[in-house]
């Protein structure tokens, strides 16, 4: 069994991941509306990945005999000033998620909950990858500012495909 403090923190993280999914779905709709279908695709894939992250926590809680408690998901913003602004907000949000994961790791250490500590290592690695992906796209967006390069980048982001990680 998972301790009560750890269980509450893991349930809170399900909500964080579902909000991430909601946020990126909202960004995907906005990109579609401004005609950048590739960016919209990238964000839709990201939204699905976040749902997968929520399900990893959900499945883990159940596998340890804990109770899943779903909370209200807040509404995400609906508009951004530019693609660069949307990706800067994405990176800011991912840094917040990295902090949440680090706090969960600290709690697992405090509680001497080895199983949860091990499960969380996947998320520690995932956050490194997610921040790096966002930083790469931000760097490209800065390079092409004011040129037609945005359409090339849009084509590149259209190639991203969703790979299911949670069974």
Interface residues with ligand OFO (CB under 6 A) are 17, 20, 50, 53, 94, 97, 126, 130
Question: 10 Å Cβ neighbour count for 160?
Answer: 15
| Cβ nearer to ligand OFO, comparing 55 with 144 | 55
Q: How far apart are the first and last CA of the chain?
A: 22
Spatial contact of 124 and 101, defined as CB atoms under 8 Å apart: yes
For 149, the token pair is 């390069």
Give me the least distance between CB of 26 and ligand OFO, in Å please: 14
Nearest residue (CB) to ligand OFO, 43 versus 107: 43
Least separation in angstroms between residue 152's CB and ligand OFO is 25
- Least separation, in Å, of the C-beta of 118 and ligand OFO? 18
Yes or no: say if 58 and 15 are a contact pair by the CB < 8 Å rule: no
CB-count burial class (<10 Å; 0-12, 13-18, 19+) for 161: exposed
Nearer to ligand OFO, 113 or 130 (CB): 130
> Which residue lies nearest ligand OFO, judged by its C-beta?
20
User: What size, in residues, is the chain?
Assistant: 167
Supply the minimum distance, in Å, between the C-beta of residue 48 and ligand OFO.
11
């Amino acid at each position: 069994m998972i301790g009560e403090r750890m269980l509450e923190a893991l349930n809170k993280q399900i909500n964080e991941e579902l909000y991430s999914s909601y946020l990126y779905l909202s960004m995907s709709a906005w990109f579609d509306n401004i005609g950048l279908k590739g960016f919209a695709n990238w964000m839709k894939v990201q939204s699905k990945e976040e749902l997968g992250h929520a399900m990893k926590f959900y499945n883990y809680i159940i596998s340890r005999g804990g109770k899943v408690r779903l909370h209200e998901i807040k509404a995400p913003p609906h508009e951004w000033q530019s693609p660069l602004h949307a990706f800067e907000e994405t990176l800011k949000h991912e840094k917040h998620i990295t902090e949440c994961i680090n706090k969960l790791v600290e709690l697992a250490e405090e509680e001497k909950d080895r199983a949860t500590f091990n499960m969380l290592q996947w998320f520690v690695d995932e956050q490194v990858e997610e921040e790096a992906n966002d930083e790469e796209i931000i760097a490209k967006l800065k390079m092409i500012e004011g040129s037609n390069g945005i359409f090339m980048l849009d084509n590149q982001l259209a190639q991203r495909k969703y790979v299911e990680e949670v069974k």
